[in-house]
């Protein structure tokens, strides 16, 4: 089976249905690419497309996306509750299968170069593709948003990686990068007490002394009268699902609270679930080639 | 992604390496078929091939297999510790992906008809493809083995489903059928006491009051000084892995014994592991399309 990379571009348009529909239609016609999902938020005035495919197919799809964005989006007239600096705001590439992070970093670089060349848009490389430590975190790059780009790009430390040192008049600037697959994963608790969910979140997340690659916060689900530990798993290979699941259970015990269920938001790669099964079933001779479908791929 | 069926033919030759090698070579050249594994047992004097592919490809491969078996195997001179009645002894078809049991029953019938027509070998349909209740279990069909086939085929209740009512002189008779994927699954215990493993096996297996679709027995692993519950899971969809895993743990507790690990013998379909993950992670909104790779297949 062939290489598979995911690409999740975010555009600054979430309200004009006919425009968003045109993006979806044209993206799904690019050869070698499957449009898995598109979701738009009226309040954010932003849409997110989930594409999977080959490196070549995805780069073509991103070029098509910019072409449409420059035609239809004018950031001078854009308002929404989500921070943004570009008509195409951010384009991450994510390795899924038979693709490494290095492959995705290379794809981010060559796509960024091509976009800057064709469309005269300044592009920052971010996350694993970042060219400097202060460019790893998207919110740092985007701070000031579209309205302050002119001044930001004039600073020596904020020269773009590709393209001009001034914003595109209608399309602003973009961040293009590479990151690991993010699993949005929530654990429901046998309590309606948000304070308990927040305490568990603090105990298990990286920023306050918990597991690496885990972001977590407490959320209260009013319609269920239930508290939830809402998490992003930023690297399911290094910090697998079972470890965060069991650590949340351990911390919940302090309050006599149990995990009543889990929720996957969006999609989960099958490798993450298969590794969880291997842990819980205590498989001694575990290796991916024990899985029939993997054994087939290995033979092809 | 296309239909996937598994086929695991057993032939009555496990000693002549150059003959077995010829089978492997020719099977792996059939278009639309992948030869995943071949294993031969000198003591049994028997070889098992694991093929996966489309219905059409597998039927072609089975025809090729019979052609080679008639050329190279003479059951009048065959000896081995495993019961057998044919040069090609048994050919099961197993649904894996985008194929139902009904598809595999139909494939077994059409393959049996074709084999009887081309090679004049009597064929019994067995397991899910059986034409009568007493033909479901392979050991019932095979009772008496090659040496008593002449007398068995003369009985009205043992007329073959296809082909002549007398054995092929060198190739005997065959059973061709359809069954579910069998997962060979062993759980290691924190004891060297075989009696405990046998007691747990009796408690959990179908034949003595345990779970449906489970065969189990105790085994003593001398080199590890450890007892094991050795199982066949005959229908992992109806009786999933997690249920037998947890039931073995519950029964082991009576003896103060724990499960120290699990062993998968051969291959396991990924769906079986993913369902186990969904159970242990308590996923509330579980559906196969949450898995990225499945969502892609659904879009194609």
Question: Is 3.30.70.670 the CATH classification of the domain at B183-270?
Answer: yes
Structural Rg of chain B based on CA atoms: 21
Amino acid A298: pLDDT: 80
Amino acid B254: pLDDT: 98
Amino acid B300: pLDDT: 65
pLDDT digits (tens, 9 = 90+) for B260-287: 999 998 899 999 999 999 999 999 999 9
Closest residue on chain B to A6 (Cα): B292
pLDDT digits (tens, 9 = 90+) for B103-125: 999 999 999 999 999 999 999 99
| Active-site residue, from A44, A72, A78, A82 | A82
Query: Nearest-CA neighbor of A149 among A233, A89, A223, A222?
Result: A89
Amino acid A9: pLDDT: 97
Q: Is the pLDDT of residue A98 over 90?
A: no
Amino acid B214: pLDDT: 96
What topology does CATH give the domain A183-294?
A: Alpha-Beta Plaits (3.30.70)
Amino acid B280: pLDDT: 98
Name every chain A residue with its beta carbon within 8 A of the beta carbon of B274.
270, 273-274, 277
Q: Which three-class secondary structure string do you get for chain B?
A: CCCEEEECCEECCCCCHHHHHHHHHHHCCCCCEEEEEEEEECCCCEEEEEEEECHHHHHHHHHHHHHHHHHHCCHHHCCCCCCCCECEEEEEEEEEECCCHHHHHHHHHHHHHHHHHHHCCCEEEEECCCCCHHHCCHHHHHCCCHHHHHHHHHCHHHCCCECCCCCECCCECEEEEECCCCEEEEEEECCCCHHHHHHHHHHHCHHHCCCCCEEEEEEEEHHHCEEEEEEEECCCCCCCHHHHHHHHHHHHHCCCCCEEEEEEECCECHHHHHHHHHHHCCECCCCHHHEHHHHHHHHC
Amino acid A1: pLDDT: 52
The architecture of the domain spanning B4-178 is 2-Layer Sandwich (3.30)
Measure A6 CA to nearest chain B CA, in Å.
10
Name every chain A residue with its beta carbon within 8 A of the beta carbon of B283.
261-264
| Active-site residue, from B44, B82, B168, B242 | B82
- What's the ipTM? 0.80
Is the minimum CB–CB distance between B295 and chain A shorter than 8 Å? yes
Q: Is the pLDDT of residue A3 over 90?
A: no
Amino acid A81: pLDDT: 87
Active site residue B82: yes
Q: Is the pLDDT of residue A265 over 90?
A: no
Measure B248 CA to nearest chain A CA, in Å.
12
Domain positions in chain A are 4-178, 183-294
Stretch A1-13: mean pLDDT, rounded? Answer: 90
Name every chain A residue with its beta carbon within 8 A of the beta carbon of B267.
290-292, 295
Amino acid A55: pLDDT: 97
- In angstroms, the CA B300 to CA B290 distance is 16
pLDDT digits (tens, 9 = 90+) for B229-252: 999 999 999 999 999 999 999 999
| Interchain CB distance below 8 Å, A283 and B270 | no
Amino acid B266: pLDDT: 85
Amino acid B294: pLDDT: 86
- In angstroms, the CA A148 to CA A162 distance is 19
- Contacts of residue A125, defined as CB under 8 A and 6 or more positions apart, other chains included, come to A108, A109, A112, A131, A135, A161, A175, A176, A177
Stretch B74-102: mean pLDDT, rounded? Answer: 94
Beta bridge partners of A94: A6
Name every chain A residue with its beta carbon within 8 A of the beta carbon of B242.
280-281
Closest residue on chain B to A53 (Cα): B296
Query: Nearest-CA neighbor of B211 among B239, B235, B189?
Result: B239
Name every chain B residue with its beta carbon within 8 A of the beta carbon of A300.
34
Stretch A272-281: mean pLDDT, rounded? Answer: 97
pLDDT digits (tens, 9 = 90+) for A188-232: 999 999 999 999 999 999 999 999 999 999 999 988 999 999 999
Amino acid B1: pLDDT: 52
Query: Nearest-CA neighbor of A254 among A294, A178, A211, A195?
Result: A195
pLDDT digits (tens, 9 = 90+) for A156-176: 999 999 999 999 999 999 999
Q: Is B180 left (phi over 0), alpha (psi -120 to 50) or beta?
A: beta
Residues of chain A with pLDDT > 90: what percent? 88
Of the candidates B34, B268, B277, the beta carbon closest to that of A299 is on B34
Angle (CA) B141 B143 B147, round 5°: 115
Average pLDDT of chain B, as a whole number = 95
Q: Is the pLDDT of residue B218 over 70?
A: yes
pLDDT digits (tens, 9 = 90+) for B138-188: 989 999 999 999 999 999 999 999 999 999 999 999 999 999 999 999 999
Of the candidates A96, A267, A295, the beta carbon closest to that of B36 is on A295
Q: Is the pLDDT of residue A147 over 80?
A: yes
CB of B82 closer than 8 Å to CB of B4 = no
Tokens representing residue A191 in the block: 């309590």
- Tell me which of A164-173, A284-293, B84-93, B277-286 is least confident: A284-293
Higher pLDDT, A247 or B296: A247
Q: Is the pLDDT of residue A101 over 60?
A: yes
């Amino acid at each position: 089976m062939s290489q598979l990379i995911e690409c999740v571009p975010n555009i600054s348009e979430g309200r004009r249905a006919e425009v968003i529909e045109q993006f979806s239609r044209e993206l799904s016609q690019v050869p070698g690419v499957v449009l898995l999902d598109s979701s738009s938020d009226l309040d954010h005035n932003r849409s997110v497309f989930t594409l999977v495919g080959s490196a070549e197919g995805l780069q073509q799809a991103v070029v098509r996306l910019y072409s449409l964005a420059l035609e239809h989006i004018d950031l001078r007239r854009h308002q929404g509750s989500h921070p943004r600096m570009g008509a195409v705001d951010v384009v991450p590439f994510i390795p899924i299968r038979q693709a490494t992070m290095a492959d995705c970093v290379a794809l981010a670089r060559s796509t960024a170069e091509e976009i800057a060349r064709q469309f005269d848009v300044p592009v920052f490389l971010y996350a694993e593709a970042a060219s400097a430590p202060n460019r790893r975190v998207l919110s740092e790059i985007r701070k000031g948003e579209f309205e302050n780009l002119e001044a930001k790009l004039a600073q020596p430390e904020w020269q773009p990686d590709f393209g001009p040192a001034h914003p595109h008049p209608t399309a602003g600037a973009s961040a293009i990068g590479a990151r690991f697959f993010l699993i949005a994963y929530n654990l429901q608790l046998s309590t309606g007490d948000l304070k308990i969910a927040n305490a568990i979140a603090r105990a298990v997340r990286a920023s306050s002394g918990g597991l690496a690659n885990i972001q977590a916060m407490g959320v209260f689900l009013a319609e269920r009268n239930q508290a939830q530990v809402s998490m992003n798993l930023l690297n399911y290979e290094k910090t697998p699902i079972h470890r965060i699941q069991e650590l949340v259970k351990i911390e919940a015990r302090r309050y006599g609270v149990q995990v009543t269920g889990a929720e996957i938001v969006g999609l989960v790669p099958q490798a993450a679930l298969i590794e969880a099964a291997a842990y819980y079933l205590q498989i001694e001779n575990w290796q991916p080639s024990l899985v029939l479908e993997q054994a087939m791929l290995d033979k092809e």
